[in-house]
């Protein structure tokens, strides 16, 4: 985490820094400084949340989700549940973000509620697990989208695919190393591509349905009109990717809950970014009114887009194909329009993925710099414009701090290299479906802890000023669902859970050893 003059962790590059102002009554409040302070309307907040949340997940998660549910109807319900969970979580984060000003996303909230160690452990988990897993998934999806356009769909891609994914990651890291402004300058373009791609998908589904209704001729898949959308399937590939077939009618309730948890992680990946809603508050003219309005319009819009897009996949594709692909959109367009359409869709989707990867890589670098400035990480990761100790830009001369240098275009190259190495290890050792579960466990363990803390604060500090205060049942609902998802997901995916616990243990040891050394 950075010092109090620097930019918050996880913050978008164009969001102004936040000053902590102590008022006469002793309370602290967030007062944004910079050109854009308090200039945004609720409509601007709506657009900002849309741009943060909509990424590659809606194009890549349908396969892993469908593989873990008994029917297409159940898959659509998972997309709806994931959106509701994101909605309740965003409202609770908005409460904390306006009540506890500070830098680092959930870190200041956890520090305020439970102590510094928990704030550090959240930062460690994000830098070592969550963000590298995110970038690994994006790189894998980029490559698998290209192969899907060629008609190649393999749930267990060969090592050549992994090496190509690492190459994509290397390009993204290099671009961010040249200039931290590279991705932000393209953000408007990437947002337009996201909406265009989803719009075209929905139009394609409507065309298929309308054509069949008017002419009786089938285009795309036929299962959508022949099969029952909520009937359990009796002959599908195994959800874990192992050889053999699977009969959903013979699955116990407890086993089903495990599969649903795994499916929900895929949906939560697609909705990731909802926790950034509180960063919008610093730029809104009237946060207490406009922030809830932005959340309560943006997230339902996203839910509608996601559910509609996934219904389209089930219309355009044979249902047995949905669960076997990690690039559903490209596969669907390939089925409908052939190779030419698939190539065009691949270009659009790869642009969306590249934009998401550039933004996430940029954020990861900032997170490592901020953690180093807090003395949670070695000082080398808090530098900019240098590789190791070799200076490659004048911003590294020590005349300004790292955050000021990054604002002028310098890059945290050492932090980006760290992120590249960890992400590359994840690519080599895992696959998209394993990483989705790891990412979900890592994120939602701390989201659960944070929202539980928000509930505790309602009783421990009832006098705390809360400009945004959702009804108490909203954080309770989030805590119940997310807590169950984490516990059941960990039981169902013990390998990923063990890896994550190992990462936390290493982080805890690193924290206490570093404190002793620096004392």
Half-sphere exposure of 310 (CA within 13 A, CB side): 29
Q: Strand pairing of 245-246 and 18-22?
A: unpaired
Yes or no: say if 147 and 331 are a contact pair by the CB < 8 Å rule: no
In this prediction, residue 155 carries a pLDDT of: 63
d(CA 77, CA 256): 14
In this prediction, residue 499 carries a pLDDT of: 93
d(CA 396, CA 37): 28
End-to-end CA distance of the chain, in Å? Answer: 19
The residues, ordered by sequence, that sit 6+ positions from 297 with a Cβ below 8 Å of its Cβ are 42, 46
In this prediction, residue 410 carries a pLDDT of: 67
> To which CATH superfamily is domain 18-518 assigned?
Amino acid/polyamine transporter I (1.20.1740.10)
Q: Where are the chain's structural domains?
A: 18-518
User: Which residue is listed with tokens 């996880």?
Assistant: 10
d(CA 509, CA 217): 64
Q: Transcribe 383-416 into DSSP letters.
A: --SEETTEE-SGGGSSSS-HHHHHHTT---HHHH
pTM to 2 decimal places: 0.75
In this prediction, residue 12 carries a pLDDT of: 33
Length of the chain: 519
Q: Which residue, among 5, 36, 17, 42, has the nearest Cα to 283 in the 3D structure?
A: 36
Per residue of the chain (519 residues), give pLDDT as tens: 333 333 333 333 333 333 433 343 444 444 433 323 455 667 766 776 777 788 778 887 888 899 899 999 999 999 999 999 999 999 898 888 878 866 556 888 898 999 989 989 998 998 999 989 989 988 988 888 888 777 776 667 788 999 999 999 999 888 877 755 555 565 667 777 877 888 888 888 888 889 888 888 777 778 888 889 999 988 887 776 666 788 898 888 888 888 888 888 889 888 987 877 665 555 567 777 777 888 889 899 999 999 999 999 999 888 888 887 767 777 787 777 777 777 887 888 888 888 778 777 877 787 788 788 888 888 888 877 778 777 776 544 444 555 555 445 567 888 889 999 999 999 998 888 788 889 889 989 999 999 999 999 999 999 998 888 889 999 999 999 889 888 988 888 899 999 999 999 999 999 999 888 877
Collapsed DSSP state (helix, strand, coil) of residue 475: helix
In this prediction, residue 229 carries a pLDDT of: 93
The residues, ordered by sequence, that sit 6+ positions from 26 with a Cβ below 8 Å of its Cβ are none
Q: Transcribe 282-339 into DSSP letters.
A: GGBSSHHHHHHHHHHHHHHHHHHHHHHHHHHHHHHS-HHHHTT-S-HHHHHHHHHHHH
The residues, ordered by sequence, that sit 6+ positions from 375 with a Cβ below 8 Å of its Cβ are 514, 518
Collapsed DSSP state (helix, strand, coil) of residue 19: strand
d(CA 268, CA 123): 20
């Amino acid at each position: 985490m950075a010092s109090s003059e620097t930019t918050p962790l996880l913050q978008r590059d164009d969001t102004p820094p936040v000053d902590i102002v102590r008022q006469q009554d002793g309370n602290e409040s967030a007062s944004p400084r910079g050109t854009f302070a308090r200039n945004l309307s609720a409509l601007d907040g709506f657009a900002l949340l849309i741009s943060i949340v909509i990424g590659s997940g809606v194009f890549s998660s349908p396969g892993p989700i469908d593989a873990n549910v008994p029917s297409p109807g159940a898959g659509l319900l998972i997309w709806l549940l994931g959106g509701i969970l994101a909605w309740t979580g965003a409202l609770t984060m908005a409460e904390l973000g306006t009540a506890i000003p500070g830098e680092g996303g959930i870190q200041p909230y956890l520090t305020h509620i439970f102590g510094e160690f928990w704030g550090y452990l959240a930062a460690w988990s994000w830098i070592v697990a969550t963000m590298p897993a995110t970038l690994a998934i994006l790189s894998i999806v980029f490559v698998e989208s290209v192969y899907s356009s060629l008609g190649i769909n393999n749930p267990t891609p060969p090592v050549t695919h992994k090496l190509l994914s690492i190459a994509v990651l290397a390009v993204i890291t290099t671009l961010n190393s040249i200039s931290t402004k590279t991705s932000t300058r393209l953000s408007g373009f990437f947002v337009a591509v996201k909406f265009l791609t989803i719009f075209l998908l929905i139009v394609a589904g409507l065309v298929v349905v309308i054509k069949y209704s008017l002419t009786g001729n089938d285009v795309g898949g036929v299962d959508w009109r022949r099969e029952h959308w909520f009937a359990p399937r009796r002959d599908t590939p195994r959800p874990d990717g192992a050889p053999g077939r699977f009969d959903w009618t013979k699955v116990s309730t407890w086993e089903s809950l495990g599969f649903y948890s795994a499916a929900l992680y895929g949906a939560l990946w697609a909705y990731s970014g909802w926790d950034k809603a509180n960063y919008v508050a610093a730029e809104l003219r009237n946060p207490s009114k406009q922030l809830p309005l932005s959340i309560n319009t943006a997230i339902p819009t996203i839910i509608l887009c996601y559910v509609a897009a996934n219904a389209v996949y089930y219309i355009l594709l044979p249902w047995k194909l949905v669960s076997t692909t990690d690039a559903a959109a490209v596969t669907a367009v390939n089925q409908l329009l052939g190779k030419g359409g698939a190539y065009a869709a691949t270009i659009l989707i790869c642009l969306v993925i590249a934009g998401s990867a550039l933004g996430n890589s940029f954020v990861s670098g900032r997170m490592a710099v901020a953690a180093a400035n807090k003395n949670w990480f070695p000082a080398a990761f808090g530098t900019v414009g240098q590789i190791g100790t070799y200076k490659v830009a004048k911003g590294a001369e020590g005349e300004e701090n790292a955050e000021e240098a990054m604002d002028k275009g310098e890059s945290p190259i050492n932090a980006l290299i760290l992120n590249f190495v960890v992400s590359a290890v994840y690519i080599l050792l895992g696959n998209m479906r394993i990483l989705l579960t790891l990412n979900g466990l890592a994120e939602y363990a701390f989201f659960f802890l944070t929202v539980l803390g928000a509930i505790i604060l309602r009783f421990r500090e009832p006098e705390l000023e809360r400009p945004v205060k959702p009804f108490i049942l909203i954080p309770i609902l989030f805590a119940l669902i997310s807590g169950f998802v984490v516990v059941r997901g960990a039981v169902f995916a013990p390998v990923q859970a063990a890896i994550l616990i190992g990462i936390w243990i290493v982080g805890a040891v690193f924290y206490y050893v570093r404190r002793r050394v620096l004392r």
